[in-house]
Amino acid sequence: TSTSTSTSTPFTTATVMDQENESSSATHKESEAATMRLAAVLSLKAAITRRWKDKGRGKVGATKNLLSEGAKTLLRTSMLNLVLAGRVVAAKEAAEGGSNQHQTDFMIANPNSITREQVELIQDRALQTNVASLLSKIARMDLPLKWQELIPSLVEAVRCAQGAVYQTKHQPQSKQMQQLFQAVIYNAMNSLEAILSEISTQRLLVNKKYRNSIALQYLGSIVESGLMPPFQELESLGNTASNNNEIMRGGGECTAFTLRNATLTSRVVSHMMISSFSKLVEENSPLVDQILTLTHSFLSRWLPCILGDNDDAVYVALRKPLKQLLRVHCDLIVDLQSSHPESFARYLTPFLTLFHSSLMCIVGVPEQERCQRRNVANNNDLGANNSNLRGSTDRFVIAFLSFLANVAGTSKYADLVNAKSEMASFFTPSLVQSLSRTLLQLFSIHISPIQIVHDDDDDDSKEDAVLWQDDPEAFYHWEMNRSSEEDVGCAAQNLFLALAESSFSGDVVLPWLMGFVTNVVSQRLAVELEGGISFGVDPQIIYSALPLGAPCAKLSSGVENASMDLLLQWDAIYTAAGLMGSILENYPGYSFQTWFRVSVGDCLSMLLRQSKQQRTQLPILQRRMIWLLSCNAHQVPISSPFNPFGMLSSSISDQDVCVRLTAVQAMDALLPQCEDAPSLLHSIVEPTAPALYQLVNECAEVESRSSCLDLLSNLICMQTGGSLTNEILNTIVAPLSSIWDNAIDQNLRLKRSVLTILSCIASFVGPESCSVLYPLVLPMIDESFAREENVFLIEEALKIWWVFLRLSRKYDSLLGKLFIHTVELSKDFDHLMILMRVTEHYIILGGATFLNDHATTIQSVLSNVVGEVRPRGTAYIFLVIEALLRSFPVEGGVLLNSCGVLTTFMEACASSYFDDEKCEPDRVIVLYLAALARVTLSRPDTLQLPLKLPSGAVFGEEEFISLYMGKFQVAGNGAHGLLYQKLWALLLLSFYPPCQLASCRNTVLRKSKTIFNIFIGVLKNVHPNGTNLLSYEVGCGDDEESIYIGEDLYEALLQGQRSNDIIISTSLHEAVSTKLNILPNELGQNYQEFCLAENDALQQLKEVILNIEG
């Protein structure tokens, strides 16, 4: 990207003429060069992301191929010079000190020495945009500790270049130079904007302090040299024009460039203001008043111009840059108030007044300007009631609504004297009512966004609005996914809620809304019109029943449809009531149960009784009343004569897909209310299940189909008491195979719903009949594990697998075939907990048959996980180890030994004994010692000691026994602690004569005093019949889902294995007594010496045994 200054052509007027006369081949070469430059910058961006600094990723100690400090310095200098002077410092020049020369000063001091290549680089917009992005990436990693001169250099460049523009402004022969200086200003501002945007996301205190310091030091220079000049130019144009539109017509290309510069500089100012506004206010910076006064003046003057209609060609051409500039300043005010509400308090009134008046100018007009209604026949064209807004995602309307909502929702203003006074003065009862009325009318203009005109110059994504008539399903999801940042209706809802909750306006909004709720006559008329019950009603009668009055002129297309006006207004009122459900609960005199019994339930029932062929309107109110039930689910009287569940079940069979999906949503919300009414649930499953499957077949969106299947699974899961008939169960199960087979591409997630339904059915039918589902379920589980595209199903498949295991009364070879998948599954530790529970259950349930078939698989699974997981994971692994060694003491030990697990245990124990810094914690070592104890008791020859460690230390029999004695108290922790202490006591007892391991025998004889005390403690604590010994178990953690299905069967299996546990069944006092009786013969003449040494402990032990036997 470097250019040679020695051979470059100077930039003069003659040079420009020569450039225009160059051949097409030269132009082609320049194009190739520009492409190569851009590719180089993009490559640099990718390289610095990986190689600029060590981010602590990758393997510890691995060599990091990072850029040297020299390379970084060269890159910083080169990119900054490329932005400000259109040249790149070569490595040789940098080494000679050339990089220290300030290129902006050089360019201004001697303009005629600027080369053609420099001009080309400065004016290459694509290149400069990507260089700005590259600088922002470097800034994020460097600032504030390194390259502190970056932002000052850019600000200084703007100041100097702007000064040069002023100097050459009245020199016609210097027009090209002015354009060049303006390009430098633009490049510097573009880089500043990218840098500030990047570092504004950093949250560390040091970053916040740095942003504050930048704003305090350089905001003034940016305002003076970057922000004021373009705004002064717009103002000067205004002084020579009679109105704003003439400015737009007369400004031409110059005005467009001015607007673009103003927009870019405004973004820079916005970043600084938003990040440091409170600090600037605290420092009493005059810049705050200057910027906000400029913003208010600019918005006041130009918003009416851009929000009006003008088809002038020049005006349309300038409309896009002007809209962008206005949006930046609107967003600045919204973000400032949202981020710094207390500091912004003193500026509330002017901007509240401006934004409110602008909002009403767009969406509402005074009463006297409303159009007089004509008597016209009703029709079903929803387009008759559409907004004349340019689009319901109009950014200006959303900005106005968001600002008003943020202000109304700021509770801190109630505690600030000045803010409280300003809020009370602005939010007067008349304004709140007028604003609320407008907001309710904005709620429903989206219902049929027909004939919406989008600006061709709008950079925002076009609204994804869908006609209800054309695609009810898409409309349902469009409305569900609306955002207040993108949709006017949703932003209006946010503002309405803020007004209702505000201490300044809530006392006005709530009674006002309650007045509509009690208007039963108007509600009933709307329902009769929608249901086709009433025909030919005089439009004047309908207009007189409009709860919100005649629609604002700007919210109507001019085509009269009184019936639709009435429906949309009640749709808005129901929407408001639903959104405010929790607020209205505390309002005196309001009860949704009463409203449902008196009005809503009756109206909904009336609509459902009408034949679908009688409809003359879309089911707007039917759908909204169903949605209202979901909003107030906990207050719906399910025992009402109107039978809410019956109405919802009927609605799921409706013709309109939007209504049906809303009914699915509402029924799912109401289900928890039926826990104490099982008969009600039983009654709705039979008609609802086929309707849900029918809806699944008709819907195209996977979200729709998934919600239907989820509701079906919830209906089954909540069935308690009574039973579903086999016919209903067959109806539910029959379609699942087809849904599973056809769930491809985006519908793959339906497989999860299928597994959930089958799990619920298995839980419902219980162990007696769940095996009937094996031919259907087990292939699905197998496919979930075997196919790569089903990886997202693994967690759900593991759960249903465990459910069917727990519901099995006996081992089945079909279930056994699935176990082969545990080898691959065990490589992903995310599934460790449930996988270990599954493996444990297989061992207990399958017994010897299972072990013979899958011993190798068990070895592979344990090899994958033992020693590789955290202590919590080890606890789950020992569910398998314990089950294996309880059921198969000898064979289990051989299995663990042959796959290296016992070696892992022994090495960890040795590491713990010698206090290695990387040793496992005591709770893990206790588990390892317990497993080694069980194996050694069953097969003493399995013990492979001594063990030599890498450090050179030797872990022999004496160290092994000493570790048991040292960890004995730790082993007693937990519910199973007493069992482990008895296990360890039996192991230590086994080392007494007769014992084949001489070193172990000698060690325990020397340490008999301590060991006898251990025996005494265990004998005193353990009941002779072992009833207080609890088997090893692991409770469900916070990150593990509790599954209680088949718990009784599982507990019965554990109890059976517990009764066969040799540790529990062995009588410790008898075993100790036997050993003591044979010691004289085994020790011979050494016995007397042994008795003298251990006399006290030995006598106490004998007394304890006598007490137990007595």
- DSSP label of 536: S
pLDDT at 385 exceeding the cut of 80: no
| CA distances for 802 relative to 720, 836, 909, angstroms | 21, 10, 33
Distance CA 890, CA 903 (A): 17
Cβ–Cβ under 8 Å, residues 789 and 747: no
Looking at residue 56, its pLDDT comes to: 64
CA dihedral (89, 91, 93, 95) positive or negative: positive
The one-letter amino acid at 489: G
Please name the helix (run of DSSP H) or strand (run of DSSP E) that holds residue 948, with its range, or none: strand 947-948
Q: What is the pLDDT of residues 699-732, one digit of tens each?
A: 999 999 999 999 999 998 887 655 678 888 999 9
**889-898 and 922-938 are packed helices; what angle lies between their axes, rounded to 10 degrees?**
120
Residues sharing a CB contact under 8 Å with residue 321, sequence separation 6 or more, in sequence order: 256, 259, 260, 263
Looking at residue 322, its pLDDT comes to: 87
Looking at residue 325, its pLDDT comes to: 93
Q: What is the pLDDT of residues 564-617, one digit of tens each?
A: 889 999 999 999 999 998 888 888 888 899 999 989 999 999 998 876 666 667
The one-letter amino acid at 83: V
Highest average pLDDT, of 284-293, 459-468, 481-490, 681-690, comes from 284-293
Give the count of alpha carbons within 13 A of 848, CB side only: 3
Looking at residue 17, its pLDDT comes to: 32
Q: What is the pLDDT of residues 193-222, one digit of tens each?
A: 999 999 998 888 898 999 999 999 999 999
pLDDT at 22 exceeding the cut of 70: no
Cβ–Cβ under 8 Å, residues 259 and 266: no
Model confidence at 129, pLDDT cuts 50, 70, 90, reads very high
| CA distances for 140 relative to 464, 782, 1054, angstroms | 35, 48, 58
Q: What is the pLDDT of residues 97-122, one digit of tens each?
A: 544 444 444 344 456 677 888 888 88
Phi, psi of 418 (to 5 degrees): -65, -45
Model confidence at 58, pLDDT cuts 50, 70, 90, reads low
Minimum mean pLDDT range among 71-75, 770-774, 928-932, 1035-1039: 1035-1039
Global pTM value:
0.81
Burial class (CB in 10 A: 0-12, 13-18, 19+), 756: buried
Q: Which residue has the higher pLDDT, 726 or 962?
A: 962
For residue 746, give both structure tokens: 């985006």
- DSSP label of 169: T
Q: Which residue has the higher pLDDT, 772 or 453?
A: 772
Of 267, 256, 118, residue with least CA distance to 190: 267
Cβ–Cβ under 8 Å, residues 648 and 629: yes
Q: Report H helices in 539-677.
A: 539-544, 562-579, 581-585, 592-595, 601-609, 620-631, 644-652, 657-670
Of 821, 897, 893, residue with least CA distance to 861: 821
Rounded to an integer, what is the distance from CA 911 to the centroid of its chain? 42
Mean pLDDT for 12-31 is: 48
Model confidence at 91, pLDDT cuts 50, 70, 90, reads low
Of 121, 266, 139, residue with least CA distance to 194: 139
Looking at residue 392, its pLDDT comes to: 37
Looking at residue 104, its pLDDT comes to: 41
Minimum mean pLDDT range among 41-45, 720-724, 780-784, 832-836: 720-724
Looking at residue 613, its pLDDT comes to: 60
Q: What is the pLDDT of residues 966-1004, one digit of tens each?
A: 999 999 998 999 999 999 999 999 999 888 777 888 889
* Mean model confidence pLDDT for the chain: 84
Please name the helix (run of DSSP H) or strand (run of DSSP E) that holds residue 947, with its range, or none: strand 947-948
CA dihedral (127, 132, 137, 141) positive or negative: positive
Model confidence at 868, pLDDT cuts 50, 70, 90, reads very high
Of 1076, 1099, 1080, 1100, residue with least CA distance to 1089: 1080
SS3 letters for 666-722? HHHHHHHHHCCCHHHHHHHHHHHHHHHHHHHHHCCCHHHHHHHHHHHHHHHHCCCCC
Highest average pLDDT, of 12-16, 21-25, 637-641, 927-931, comes from 927-931
- DSSP label of 65: -
SS3 letters for 871-920? HHHHHHHHHHHHHHHHHCHHHHHHHHHHCCHHHHHHHHHHHHHCCCCCCC
Looking at residue 296, its pLDDT comes to: 95
pLDDT at 16 exceeding the cut of 50: no
pLDDT at 336 exceeding the cut of 50: yes
Cβ–Cβ under 8 Å, residues 651 and 622: yes
Residues sharing a CB contact under 8 Å with residue 49, sequence separation 6 or more, in sequence order: 137
**395-408 and 488-501 are packed helices; what angle lies between their axes, rounded to 10 degrees?**
10
Looking at residue 746, its pLDDT comes to: 87
pLDDT at 23 exceeding the cut of 50: no
Percent of the chain with pLDDT over 70: 84
Q: Match 């996988």 to its residue by tokens.
A: 835
Looking at residue 331, its pLDDT comes to: 95
Model confidence at 383, pLDDT cuts 50, 70, 90, reads very low
Residues in the chain: 1110
